[in-house]
Chains A and B, each alone.
Chain A
Amino acid sequence: NAGVTQTPKFQVLKTGQSMTLQCAQDMNHEYMSWYRQDPGMGLRLIHYSVGAGITDQGEVPNGYNVSRSTTEDFPLRLLSAAPSQTSVYFCASSVLLMNTGELFFGEGSRLTVL
């Protein structure tokens, strides 16, 4: 049982490049989400999904796309990377039952955009 797995752990991009951050969970969780965390800041929600085929925007969705074709995977796509997207990205998952409280987080993907 690996939990939430994020790849890559580190990535350096040039401005304008695109890439996909991968997130996979093996706990059969309906809910998955992406957060970003800038230095000294809390986490901000980018996008989330409550099941395969269902996604919605969070607090800071601009510049990012997501899709949810399977329960296990929730990739985050950066369409045209900008230096402002330099951050640590965390994927999280949970069951969809009300108020169970526990989001499981991955170890993070550290992205630098030059």
Chain B
Amino acid sequence: DAKTTQPTSMDCAEGRAANLPCNHSTISGNEYVYWYRQIHSQGPQYIIHGLKNNETNEMASLIITEDRKSSTLILPHATLRDTAVYYCIAPANAGGTSYGKLTFGQGTILTVHP
């Protein structure tokens, strides 16, 4: 897996955009970037993933730099329910045999304040 680096914690005011950065400077050309989050003690929840192009879904936007060495997850209007640990993952994609072997580091603790 490509190594990812995230800040340990971040704060955000409710209603504001939360921008969570991730460095993955060793990522290879065929490795996707995935984002998950874990609210309190629940199982992780998939948010979004991308390869080269920016992606958007109903939960968030993912901005990937042109050199693919970093990305930013954007929660456009953060709510108190978005307080969670956010994981940035770049798993190896070796012929499908490593698919799903997602390695979750310690992630970023996002706290959304009223």
Binding site for B on A (CB under 8 A): 4, 31, 33, 35, 40-45, 48, 50, 58-59, 88, 90, 92, 94, 96, 98-99, 101-108
Contact = CB atoms under 8 A, between A and B. Distances in A.
Interface of B is mostly: loop
5 contacts: A35-B104, A42-B105, A43-B44, A58-B101, A96-B96
B102 A103 contact: yes
Contacts of A35: 104
Nearest to A30: B100
Contacts of A42: 87, 103-107
Given A48-B100, A59-B103, A101-B34, A107 B42 contact: yes
Interface in B76-108: 87, 93, 96, 99-107
Nearest to A93: B100
Contacts, number: 66
A19 to B, nearest CB: 20
Contact of B32 (A41, A48, A58, A101): A101
Contact of A99 (B43, B48, B49, B103): B49
A102 to B, nearest CB: 4
B79 to A, nearest CB: 22
A108 B32 CA distance: 26
A103 B44 contact: yes
Nearest to A92: B43
B47 to A, nearest CB: 9
B43 A108 contact: yes
- Residue among B87, B103, B107 having the largest count of chain A Cβ atoms under 10 Å: B103
Contact of B101 (A40, A45, A96): A45
Given A98-B93, A101-B49, A107 B43 contact: yes
Interface in B33-51: 34, 36, 41-46, 48-49, 51
B103 to A, nearest CB: 7
